Structure 1
């Protein structure tokens, strides 16, 4: 399952860390990925415009989702796709519609729990606030208050004497509301503040999608700096690798496939939205690309029949303190290369044929790889993989990078693995 690794390029991991730091929300992640693609020669196309059949790199942005593809010169309408799938959202705390709350002399922000975060990791951290503001004319403005603004204070041990013996018990409604100052809450205060940070008048703001983020910068960790700690690796690590892989193919006219990056929103809460993998966005883009090149329904069917998707998401590295929670014969290790994720109950979409596709890509790239299977006594998580396979009828394989502390405010991976994943994705997209 392994082969000699390509020479480690620290520049890739450095760039990942910059990407993580600059992407406190899925909207920022999409904007940053689009900027990288623009630099590689891709151009944005709008869903409301008519599309032409010209070759080259193109991308569509819808909210927190991005679909990008590169059409080689002379690609036929029935040319199959190679798709790298990922998601832009991460578990966190999100601002409620009426955010101004508090009591007992404390001003607080009312938040809702998004996805399945490790709640305790959000305690006693300096937190910023980021997302997008929707103006009354329908346009959007990104905002990022990237300085200490909020904090979810934990109850002192003197008032919870059993916390270290019986464990910390958190009520999602009562215990997770952050403080952001002293005094009495006044309706409209938070949005007036955030609008001011964005250089806007609060009267122009018609809506918002805001979330908190931990402020610690991504950092190398360990004696040999062979680990990376940082936020939102699940799953911006894959978004970054997929963006880098697609950008690397810009200008290639010898590709047998049309390479695609599909970065969805809302994976962490089921993908059921117009920007999630359950929605029509990817299917619409693939179909319109076929028709823009003069294709028919038959051409679309032929293209999808030959399409393969790598659903790239983070997975579980074996935990040294909890090795019994893992399958005894499958122990993915940090810096051991990307993992192939398998679950026969279709929580992951990988089958034997997909395994062969992934193995071939890793062999071509000279990248070692590993296999992840859950312990039979542990429920298995899922990804956009099975959803993509079922919705579009395309062969899908689940892969990713093994990490620790998944769904924490700060996760941990091997410093080499992001680079190894990106190399494997390039080889896969090349065909």
Structure 2
């Protein structure tokens, strides 16, 4: 048995089905008597629902039901408050799903959703991330279980004593996963058992959540996920679509298909939090780092804490005797952020690597050489040797292949009309986990 995959050609098991169009996704399985659900989002940022008038929707031919907090089946409170849907009149963020229309056709469900009338008692809200927000706090830890802050040496003293210093703040916006196949589910109940065809990246987690919410034995829940049309992290845990479909199917006692619209993917299913990052670097005249500080500010929702591990990247990327990293969080009236492609490392690397480029200019040395000079021999935080690290080799080989020495090193020196044309370099890393074994352990 071998675990090697690099440099080998392995045909994808599902490749033929996908390229011939025969692969079935969550809402493409044939189901007798299927109905269609359409989620209704909140129109206010924060407040309470005071009245729901479902009569216009129910009068539409084909509409079977309008579910909302006043009539939906009850769910058991669980560890994920975002899944406790249609259970209360409170609105925590704009776009929160507050009703579901079920109809015999997709068109009727969509039109019915438009006809539902909802009155709100809107309250004051806060939705903008700032570096001076009065609600900023230090979380107990950041994802998945890193300490929020770290410090070694004396950063303030080391920074003040250095001949070269760089201090810059970087901001990144929210990023949305938005996979090609939206969050989608076909749910049906049979003799007290729940069957869902669901688009997700973790069927076991979906099964566990549904069993807890509907107070069922786990063996009474079956989750089928044969193909997934993308997720980028947003489908790693159960989200609104599967819960809404299961609620609706129980209410009308018929199978229900529910797929979120493209517009509905912007928020309620997760996104990468915006960030505000201050990076301070100090170096000697030769460009060797003497002090590093990375301060990160991100947002979470008022109903669940999600603390992106933005500055964790900096803890092990480059060496310096004085180092400090901090994470601060603020609860806003927004959807809860969630995992998205290299969570933490992506925005954190952007800030640190941008700062390294600016430091290279301040010191007057090549950005590739600056990174090579500051490559650590061991993990700067843990003091342990790296299992695998070849940054210096990658930098040198990349510089050779890309003709780095022949580029124009002057910033903003090349233009194509209104576009600036540049050549840049950046380091990158991502944690890998492996289980310890012994020779021959992988042999049959």
For Structure 1 versus Structure 2, the TM-score category normalised by the shorter chain is under 0.3
- Normalized against structure 2, the TM-score is what? 0.20
- Normalized against structure 1, the TM-score is what? 0.20
Greater RCO (Cα-Cα under 8 Å, separation 6 or more) = 1
Q: Which has the larger radius of gyration?
A: 2
Structure ranking higher in helix proportion: 1
